[in-house]
Amino acid sequence: MRFSPLSQSMCDLLSKLFIPAHVDESERLVRFLLSPLHFKNGKLRSNAFNPTKGTPEVSVTRLDYSTENKCKRLAKKVAKKASSTKNPKEFKGFGLITKGIAKICGAKDVVRDPICGNPAHAELLLPGTKENAAISARLQYVQDQLVSKTKVYLDPHPNLRKWDGDSLTY
Amino acid sequence: MNNNKFDAGDVPAFTRPPMPVYRSTAFDKMIIVGAVAGALTFAQPDYKLLPFSNEKGDVEQVYAIADCLSQLITTFQKWEERSATNEQTKKENLVRDLVSQIFSFRSLDNNWDGYDAIPVSALAASATTTVIRLLSEESLEQLQDIFPNTNGTISLKWSNSFDEKVSLCVGAYDMSYYVAKLQHEVAFIDAVEISADSISALDNEIQSIVSVNV
């Protein structure tokens, strides 16, 4: 997505005004699940918590400063953008965890990282990965721990614009 | 029905019906033992368990029984050989199915997960194939999951009913894995070169986990 500098700075300003910089331990963090390869037999795979290529960051949204409907709309937008005819993608559901639990699982921290369109965006910091290099054993372990503690909320009606699944509680 | 062929990462891309495998049963062994016992009994005519004595007229029957016994043993040996061949074919089938899955990951496009992922690299796919070929049949049979990662590598998972785990990630040139066993510290093994020795060590760890499945 392209944003003008003005809209980006407006986003930053709004997020600074309304969303605290400090991520509380009890805050609910939502991971958008967009690929069928994130699941096997309805169970989450650890690749759902792979850091973004070349960084130690896993994108999440601070649900306490967003809503389920807004998260779903954003997730559908991301899925649409990433979709291709060869590998179509659609929003599958949410993975829900708290900062405190994520840290117990071995995550280093959760830092605020507002982006335009999602001022509640944050990054879950894990050990990083390198392109085509085996993921470190410790990161694999942390990812498995995260998966075991993550509550998965599958979208019962992906075609609807609003979230009508269970309320996201941890 | 979802047409996405990756939807069911759990469904092997290529399946073939299992080859019938001969395993010697208790019944087979009873037949052999019975034949041997019969021959021994015949060699000691005092027992009179067989319907002939040790007289000259019975010599033909002796040879007939010896022939039968010989044929039985030959047949048994052939069965054993066929069994070994079938075991080999079974591993080949497992390897073929997994290799087919691995190479299906190659056809993923960029950003396949919505978070800027790259498809599995040719080198990582080839390295994973090497690992799979060198793992034992038991380890391959007990493999629970295989899937691509966003950095172009492939993960493989084993676990048992006690939630003990081996998690392996194979990259273009190396592999890393951890072993989590009950009442043991988690063992982290990083950036190991892919060789027969390192895979043998990995195989032993997998065996120690999957052998306790109940």
Tell me which amino acid residue B98 is.
L
Residue carrying structure tokens 């049979």 = B141
Contacts of B149 (CB under 8 A, 6+ apart): A47, A50, A129, A135, B117, B155, B169
Higher pLDDT, B200 or A89: B200
Given this model, what pLDDT does residue B81 score?
74
Pairs of CB atoms within 8 A across A/B = 139
Mean confidence (pLDDT) of chain A: 89
Residue in A with minimal Cα distance to B189:
A137
Give yes or no for residue A159 having a pLDDT over 90: no
Q: Looking at chain A, how many residues does it have?
A: 170
Tell me which amino acid residue B120 is.
V
Dump pLDDT digits (tens) for B154-191: 999 999 999 999 999 999 999 999 999 998 999 999 99
| Cβ neighbour number for residue A22 with a 10 Å cutoff | 9
Q: How far apart are CA A102 and CA A110, in angstroms?
A: 9
Whether the model pTM is above 0.90 = no
Per-residue confidence band for A109, with pLDDT thresholds at 50, 70 and 90: very high
Dump pLDDT digits (tens) for A94-106: 999 999 999 999 9
Per-residue confidence band for B2, with pLDDT thresholds at 50, 70 and 90: very low
Q: Looking at chain B, how many residues does it have?
A: 214
For residues A147-167, give the mean pLDDT. Answer: 92
Per-residue CA distances from B155 to A50, B169, B176, B200 (Å): 11, 4, 10, 18
Given this model, what pLDDT does residue B74 score?
78
- State the DSSP string of chain A: ----HHHHHHHHHHHHHHS-SSPPTT-EEEEEE--GGGEETTEEPGGGGPPPTTSSEEEEEEGGGS-HHHHHHHHHHHHHHH--SSS-----EEEEEEHHHHHHTT--EEEE--BTTBTTEEEEE-----TTSPPPHHHHHHHHHHHHHPEEEE-S-TTSSS--S-----
Q: Measured between CB atoms, does A8 come within 8 Å of chain B?
A: no
Q: How far apart are CA A14 and CA A7, in angstroms?
A: 10
Dump pLDDT digits (tens) for B10-20: 444 444 555 55
Given this model, what pLDDT does residue B8 score?
43
Residue in B with minimal Cα distance to A78:
B114
% of chain B beyond a pLDDT of 90: 50
Per-residue confidence band for B3, with pLDDT thresholds at 50, 70 and 90: very low
Dump pLDDT digits (tens) for B72-118: 787 777 777 777 677 678 889 999 999 999 989 998 888 888 888 99
Higher pLDDT, B1 or B68: B68
Q: Tell me which chain B residues have a C-beta less than 8 angstroms from the C-beta of A130.
A: 151
Per-residue CA distances from B207 to B165, B197, B204 (Å): 11, 15, 5
Per-residue CA distances from A107 to A99, A127, B58, B147, B195 (Å): 9, 8, 86, 22, 32
Given this model, what pLDDT does residue A5 score?
52
Given this model, what pLDDT does residue B90 score?
85
Which residues sit opposite A31 in a β-bridge? A95
Tell me which amino acid residue B116 is.
D
Contact at 8 Å (CB) between B148 and B122? no
Q: How far apart are CA A88 and CA A137, in angstroms?
A: 31
Token readout for B188 is 């982290």
Q: Tell me which chain B residues have a C-beta less than 8 angstroms from the C-beta of A138.
A: 178, 188, 190
Dump pLDDT digits (tens) for A111-133: 999 888 889 999 999 998 999 99
Residue carrying structure tokens 């306790």 = B212
Q: How far apart are CA B10 and CA A66, in angstroms?
A: 34
Q: Measured between CB atoms, does B60 come within 8 Å of chain A?
A: no
Domain map (residue ranges) of chain A: 5-154
* Inter-chain CB proximity A47 and B113 less than 8 Å: yes
Contact at 8 Å (CB) between A63 and A169? no
* Inter-chain CB proximity B149 and A78 less than 8 Å: no
Q: How far apart are CA B81 and CA B58, in angstroms?
A: 35
Interface test mutation site (partner A, options B3, B101, B109, B115, max chain A beta carbons within 10 A):
B115
* Inter-chain CB proximity B152 and A132 less than 8 Å: yes
Given this model, what pLDDT does residue B150 score?
94
Per-residue confidence band for B6, with pLDDT thresholds at 50, 70 and 90: very low
Say what the ipTM of the complex is. Answer: 0.88
Given this model, what pLDDT does residue A82 score?
79
Given this model, what pLDDT does residue B12 score?
45
* Inter-chain CB proximity B114 and A88 less than 8 Å: no
Chain A nearest-CA distance from B173, in A, is: 7
Dump pLDDT digits (tens) for A6-46: 566 776 677 667 889 899 999 999 999 998 899 998 899 99
Given this model, what pLDDT does residue B19 score?
55
3-state DSSP call for residue B143?
A: coil
For residues B38-65, give the mean pLDDT. Answer: 61
